[in-house]
Amino acid sequence: MTEVGFFLGELRSQLSSAKPSDKSAATVKYFENVRSGSHVVGMPYSYITESNHNKRSFVLLLLDAFKGFPENMEITPFDLFNMIESFCPNFSRSLVLEVSQSLHRNLEDDGASTKHMFRTLAQAVYCSILYDDWLRLISDYFAEETSTRSMNLLKLKAKIEDFYVSISPSIYQPPLEVSYAVLEASNPSSTGTGTSSYLVEVTLDQFRRTFLLSDAMREEIRRLSSLSVQK
């Protein structure tokens, strides 16, 4: 289903259920809420992940709500989960815990009690909300193509480029230049000048951690946060 189809279907359902006396006014109000992003407040997480617009709206909502929070303050995954739960009562606790674990180099640590800087953990969680389906495709590709849990960056780069032309638009993907920057940063011997060897082997855990923490993703989140939400 397309994004437009999703919202039209929801509108029809709401009109059928509420039976407003003025359907035109109700329709205008519905799309005003969708445009502003306020339609995701208090909604189940399954609804938030139903469309790319909903994911972006929810991340923008969190960015706005937490913009005054001290970026360098240390928090646990449960701290952040409780903050997000205020806007989504059944938000995925496992997502926050998995992100916390991904940020650790010691993957035997479940990440539950680990403290992170708010800026770091929040960025990683925002990225996971937006790109969870895309990251799952990357994970599936690693599982299908490798027995040693590592892959050279050239092969991974080719697959990521293929994603941009082969997978459904319903899968939210990072901009291609962000993916290139993450691949560059995934090379432990990279000089940061674009001259890294793509024959370097990386594990899925290394790529995921680099993706979540990369400067390129930080800039992408900053770009999102600069978007003005229409009221």
- What pTM did the predictor assign? 0.85
Kindly report the three-state secondary structure assignment for every residue of 27-96: HHHHHHHHHHCHHHCCCCHHHHCCCHHHHHHHHHHHHHHCCCCCCCCEECHHHHHHHHHCCCCCCCHHHH
Q: Are 118 and 71 in contact (CB under 8 A)?
A: yes
Domain assignment present for residue 149? The answer is yes
Percentage of the chain lying above the pLDDT 70 cut: 89
Supply the pLDDT for residue 148: 67
Length of the chain: 231
What's 2's DSSP letter?
-
Confidence of residue 223 (pLDDT cuts 50, 70, 90): confident
Supply the pLDDT for residue 17: 87
pLDDT of 92 over the 80 cut: yes
Angle at 62 between CA 89 and CA 130, to 5 degrees: 90
Confidence of residue 105 (pLDDT cuts 50, 70, 90): low
Domain assignment present for residue 231? The answer is no
Q: What is the pLDDT of residues 28-39, one digit of tens each?
A: 998 998 988 899
Q: What is the pLDDT of residues 42-70, one digit of tens each?
A: 999 999 999 999 999 999 999 999 988 99
Residue 170's domain spans which residues? 37-225
Q: Which backbone phi and psi does 152 adopt, to 5 degrees?
A: -80, 150
Domain assignment present for residue 183? The answer is yes
Domain assignment present for residue 55? The answer is yes
Supply the pLDDT for residue 18: 86
Domain assignment present for residue 31? The answer is no
- Cβ burial 3-22 (10 Å sphere, 16+ → b, else e): eeebbeebbeeeeeeeeeee
**Poorest-pLDDT segment among 101-110, 135-144, 147-156:** 101-110
Domain assignment present for residue 92? The answer is yes
Q: What is the pLDDT of residues 145-188, one digit of tens each?
A: 877 678 889 999 999 999 999 998 889 999 999 999 999 898 86
**How far, in whole angstroms, is CA 181 from its chain's centroid?**
17
**Coil vs helix vs strand at 149:** coil
Domain assignment present for residue 155? The answer is yes
According to DSSP, the residues that pair with 215 across neighbouring strands are none
Domain assignment present for residue 19? The answer is no
Mean of pLDDT values over 74-88? 95
Number of domains in the chain: 1
Supply the pLDDT for residue 200: 85
Q: Are 150 and 203 in contact (CB under 8 A)?
A: yes
